[in-house]
Structure 1
């Protein structure tokens, strides 16, 4: 989502490496809203910063790359160390390191790592796989040659982030969510991070109803170790969504989600919680 440089200058101190292969944002740390009622950090997902300075430069020439296309998140992954939930590990200030992940024909991924600057410890890593779409046809649009030549060599991942589709059991409990205006982005679609909020609400609802077996409040309070998401469709303001949630039959730490609109899956996710 777009942010004005005037606000960014008051919020963050932005720097870019001399090679311009990565970018580090120095932040004051987590906001109050980042912590939930169980003192757990909401899972964070990070797209490349829109602006690096007053000249309009963007990391990976992102603004120039996306000026003639729409971009959508196709899949994402978040890996959280236990230090994320350890109150003895300082959460202020924090650095966010951005790198280019994978470069495909019409898609790319970004890698964001949260680092504690006082120790250099990376406590969270987020990969977002983005697909560029033609504004008219809404079909994938190949990345331009100039961009590949300039940035392709700095990619740190050899493969795209592919999240397999889930098969929902017939007896999975369901939860209903309605898309509000505050849940939408610049395209007037539901913001991709909001689906995770719907899933978390659905999980707590199912636990309260006694539908999640060994996955209980104590498991949730350990914090999420990993989260893998796949974005299949779209939803808009006032749409009513059904969120299906079920526990893995392999262990008591894994939970699956299937978000549907009008009977069609538009988002799926798998959470894996930390061990005790």
Structure 2
């Protein structure tokens, strides 16, 4: 845990990084500098790309939105799809040239990009240290169209060696079922600049700090504090597959959330299981060393979460990325709740060789009043 505290302090406050090696570049780092022109993303169909310098640097655009593959069996948008949509939209906004006239500066033949991202990521890697997603109840309205979507992407905070940005996604008004944009979800990410040679967190360049420091809408960066993993957890095994990785061969940011979701559903399944060894062997070959069986492990780890609560939809997600995972490595996703804590709050830790590589907290929606619950997925 001491190492987690050191990493959290270095990434979220000041750039004290002498003992910290970070080698997980983000998906919008240098390798994506030509993504728009060299991939099908140039045919994505995004439109209405605009830029504003004040009150805070921001871009806005309309994107195709979710697809029929974005929904789970409850017809709720999958968190992994929300994350991938957010990531692609962010990459598009970072690597699309700004309009000829942007803010107070007239262009003089020089192409500019939002937050000068291509230039920054040619000099440095960027490491996603933490992420927050906040979902609205509107996201789970089955009567509300989820395509296309309007996105607003805003600078949140500039630290010594970190950049926080927020993207918001809105349902587009269609003049029939809706006449105003409804916020569906927002995503705030904390990026850390990483020296290409040393693979350690490093100070942002002076030119970048002079241009952007103090222009974000947040007083501080995104801080996701580490937490202790208790002895009694349910642990679900996984092997990192090729489909879990990005173009750096690192586990992509959404795969951790998929593992967590599967672990939670497995724990609920086993908690409710009245059968013995057959379901355990088929569903969870892992036996927690401190508990007799997977069923007992699940029952000891969960204290209030149910299948019905999960089906209401995810309200908030916090993620802290601590170390990289590579293809072929074995991991265990631990899931638990605090005894006597919130029924809708679940903790997760992805562990490799005894070390936490990723920590997550998921808050699910509480129940709506009965009179408002007509089209709510329960």
TM-score when normalising by structure 1 = 0.94
Q: 2:220 corresponds to which residue? A: 159
**CA–CA distance in structure 2, aligned partners of residues 189 and 233 of structure 1:** 10
The equivalent of 2:342 in structure 1 is: 251
**Whose strand fraction is larger, Structure 1's or Structure 2's?**
1
Of stretches 144-153 and 154-163 in structure 1, the one that deviates more from structure 2 is 144-153
SS at match of 2:207: helix
CA contact (8 A) 1:12 1:25 kept: no
Give secondary structure in 1 for the equivalent of 2:253: coil
Deviates more, 1:2-11 or 1:49-58: 49-58
The correspondence for 2:123, drawn from 57, 68, 88, is 68
Match of 1:91 among 142, 146, 153: 146
Counterparts of 1:108-123 in structure 2, within 5 Å, are 108-118=163-173, 119-123=180-184
Partner of 2:96: 52
User: Per-residue deviation at 1:57?
Assistant: 4.4
* 1:4 is the counterpart of 2:61: no
Question: Does the alignment pair 1:137 with 2:198?
Answer: yes
Larger radius of gyration: 2
Matches of 1:230 and 1:18, distance apart in 2: 30
* Structure 2 residue 236 is matched with structure 1 residue 147: no
Counterpart of 1:171 (choices 232, 251, 256) is: 232
Where in structure 2 are there 5+ consecutive unaligned residues? 1-26, 99-109, 174-179, 272-297, 368-378
Is the counterpart of residue 41 in structure 1 residue 77 in structure 2? yes
Aligned residue pairs, count: 276
TM-score by length of structure 2 reads 0.69
Post-superposition Cα deviations, 1:211-248, rounded to whole Å, max 9, x if no partner, equal: 23421110100101001111111110001001100123
Superposition deviation, residue 262 in structure 1: 0.6
Instruction: Flag structure 1 segments of 5+ consecutive residues without an equivalent.
Output: none
Measure the CA separation in 2 of the matches of 1:125 and 1:188. 27
Q: Equivalents in 2 of 1:70, 1:33: separation in Å?
A: 32
Matched residue SS, 1:208: helix
Residue in 2 that maps onto 1:267 = 358
| Structure 1 residue aligned with 2:24 | none
Segment of structure 1 superposing worse, 14-23 or 171-180? 14-23
Give me the whole-angstrom Cα distance separating, in 2, the residues matched to 1:166 and 1:128: 19
Deviates more, 1:238-247 or 1:33-42: 33-42
CA distance in 2, matches of 1:192, 1:275: 26
Q: How does 1:12-51 map to 2 (within 5 A)?
A: 12-14=45-47, 15-19=49-53, 21-43=57-79, 44-45=82-83, 46-47=86-87, 48-49=90-91, 50-51=94-95
Q: Secondary structure at the match of 1:4?
A: helix
Contact residue 63 and residue 151 of structure 2 kept, 8 A: yes
